[in-house]
A and B are shown apart, each in its own frame.
Chain A
Amino acid sequence: DIVMTQSPLSLPVTPGEPASISCRSSQSLLHSNGFNYLDWYLQRPGQSPQLLLYFSSNRASGVPDRFSGSGSGTDFTLHISRVEAEDVGVFYCMQARQTPWTFGQGTKVEIK
């Protein structure tokens, strides 16, 4: 199975400041079609997860443009340009390059 490793696991943030989360995979997520099969999700407290980014850097419908993604192969990053209070929750990366799909451990984002 592909192992997904996120860092940090806990991230205190200040509203208005930028933040980033790293995600590394044990195998390349780059498909021969040029797509990286790496998605990002946010699970707010008490809610179901929601899709933020797919194929590493594509924002899902309705996701604010303060969220962006970068990376290819085995190293990926989620960027938040200016953190807002509603961004509190746990962020997960997930690979879909091969079954079983696997998630990172999650990064808990809290307001300082």
Chain B
Amino acid sequence: QVHLVQSEAEVKRPGASVKVSCKASGYVHWVRQAPGQGLEWMGIINPSGGSPSYTQRFQGRLTVTRDTSTSTVYMELSRLRSEDTAIYYCARGRLAVASRGGFDSWGQGTLVTVSS
């Protein structure tokens, strides 16, 4: 499987924002995993960068964008809380023309630590 390349680990204060990058094309999803916990889907952006969709609990705090010229997708989470400490993964949809069909490539994960 192809590994997508993500940005390095970050340490942030509560209330700050973090922006994680991922080199990927196609439909790109963001999934996070709190320490010792399961997987949580956060959002998706389509190949052209339009119409990102987010899970409701992140509405207002999560922004996913992409720079098609560099094939880079960005996930920005604002107003960070200690509960946002997690590994954040980007994952690419298996199909180039549809959002469903599994995530066949994943990034190595970016650990974001929120601590005062």
Q: Please give the residue numbers on chain A whose beta carbons come within 8 Å of chain B beta carbons, in ascending order.
A: 1, 35, 37, 39, 41, 43, 48-51, 53-55, 60-62, 90, 92, 94, 96, 99-106
Across the interface, do A62 and B1 meet the contact criterion of CB distance under 8 Å? yes
Given the interface contacts A48-B89, A106-B38, does A100 sit within 8 Å of B104 by beta carbon?
no
B3 within 8 A of A: yes
Q: Which of B7-15, B69-77, B78-86, B106-114 contacts A (4 or more CB under 8 A)?
A: B106-114
B35 within 8 A of A: no
Q: Please give me the residue from chain A that is nearest to B42 by CB atom.
A: A100
Known: A37-B100, A96-B101, A105-B38. 5 other contacts (CB 8 A): A48-B109, A51-B103, A60-B94, A100-B56, A104-B38
Across the interface, do B101 and A94 meet the contact criterion of CB distance under 8 Å? no
Across the interface, do A100 and B55 meet the contact criterion of CB distance under 8 Å? yes
User: Separation in Å of the A45 CB from the closest CB of chain B?
Assistant: 12
User: Separation in Å of the A95 CB from the closest CB of chain B?
Assistant: 10
> Which residues of B have CB within 8 Å of A49?
31, 39, 89, 91, 103, 106
Q: Please give me the residue from chain A that is nearest to B93 by CB atom.
A: A96
Across the interface, do B104 and A61 meet the contact criterion of CB distance under 8 Å? yes
Q: Please give me the residue from chain B that is nearest to A96 by CB atom.
A: B100
